[in-house]
């Protein structure tokens, strides 16, 4: 069990640029979640996948955000035309699904938009 | 919608003191309840969980009991150590929301030697 991994761990970009983050879940986990965490706050749900299907998206996920999980394994989260307000820690988590709901979190990708 | 409220921090205790971090929730369904811990520079780790009323979750000396009548899941430890210094998050998972987690804002604990 190698755990959930995320890449990159840190990203600094200029406003208006596009960024893409990758998450590799625990291999046998069907569900994959994305969260955003700002300083001093708890993680806020963005979206989740059951295998390759994106089943739910939060209102926090504006049109500039898109997530994919093309083969039901790793996932990518892209932010287009980044804004300073996008600066946050982006967390990925995975779980086995309905039978076991405990989510296991990756170390996160810290984004800073200048 | 569902929500989680935690006592505000930071909480500062001396080593071997008793710890309580309050957590209350609002949910439309029958949620499972969790405590996650985030040590400095690390990712979120599951500390303990309870899936139904009156269940008690426990791990590493920490305990929390799922109290449906008071909609609470308070975290307790009888004797804290310096190594317990971290941010603690209460969270719920509700079937009505596809099992995505709703987190509280976190409570920072500092334990002094």
Inter-chain CB proximity A40 and B44 less than 8 Å: no
Which residue in A48, A102, A108 is closest to B100 by CB distance?
A48
- Residues from chain A that touch B100, judged by Cβ atoms under 8 A, are 33, 45, 48, 56
Query: Quick one: how far is CA A78 from the chain centroid?
Result: 9
Decide which of B42 and A13 is more confident: A13
DSSP A42: -
Interface of A with B in 55-114 (CB under 8 A): 55-56, 91, 93, 95, 98, 101-108
Decide which of A21 and B30 is more confident: A21
Cβ of residue A44 closer than 8 Å to a chain B Cβ: yes
Cβ of residue A41 closer than 8 Å to a chain B Cβ: yes
Q: Could you tell me which residues are beta bridge partners of residue A36? A: A44, A90
Whole-number Å distance between alpha carbons of B83 and B57: 20
Q: Which tens digit of pLDDT belongs to each residue from B5-57?
A: 998 889 999 999 999 999 999 988 788 999 999 998 888 999 999 989 999 99
Which residue in B44, B49, B104 is closest to A105 by CB distance?
B44
CA A59 to each of CA A46, A73, B98: distance values in angstroms, whole numbers, following the listed order: 8, 25, 15
Question: How many CB atoms neighbour CB B96 within 10 A?
Answer: 12
Q: Which tens digit of pLDDT belongs to each residue from A62-111?
A: 899 999 999 889 999 999 999 999 999 999 999 887 656 788 999 999 99
pLDDT at A98: 64
Give strand ranges (E) for chain A.
Answer: 5-7, 10-13, 19-24, 31-37, 44-50, 53-57, 65-68, 75-79, 88-95, 104-105, 109-113
pLDDT at B57: 96
**B-chain residue closest to A41, CA distance:** B105
- Residues from chain A that touch B102, judged by Cβ atoms under 8 A, are 45
Q: Which tens digit of pLDDT belongs to each residue from B60-94?
A: 999 999 999 999 999 999 999 999 999 999 999 87
């Amino acid at each position: 069990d190698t755990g959930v991994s995320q890449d990159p761990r840190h990203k600094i970009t200029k406003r208006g640029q596009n960024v893409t983050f990758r998450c590799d879940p625990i291999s046998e986990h069907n569900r994959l979640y994305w969260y955003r965490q700002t300083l001093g706050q708890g993680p806020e749900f963005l979206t989740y996948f059951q295998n390759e299907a994106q089943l739910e998206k939060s209102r926090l996920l504006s049109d500039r955000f898109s997530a994919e999980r093309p083969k039901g394994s790793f996932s990518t989260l892209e932010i287009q035309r980044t804004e300073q307000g996008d600066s946050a820690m982006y967390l990925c988590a995975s779980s086995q699904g309905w039978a076991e709901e405990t989510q296991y979190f990756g170390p996160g990708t810290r984004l800073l938009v200048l | 919608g569902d929500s989680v409220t935690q006592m505000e921090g930071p909480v500062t205790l001396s080593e071997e003191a008793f710890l309580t971090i309050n957590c209350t929730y609002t949910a439309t369904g029958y949620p499972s309840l969790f405590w996650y811990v985030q040590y400095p520079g690390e990712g979120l780790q599951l500390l303990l969980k309870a899936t139904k009323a009156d269940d008690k979750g426990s791990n590493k000396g920490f305990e929390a009991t799922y109290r449906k009548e008071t909609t609470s899941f308070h975290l307790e430890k009888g004797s804290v150590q310096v190594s317990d210094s971290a941010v603690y998050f209460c969270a719920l998972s509700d079937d009505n929301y596809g099992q995505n987690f709703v987190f509280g804002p976190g409570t920072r604990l500092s334990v002094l030697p």
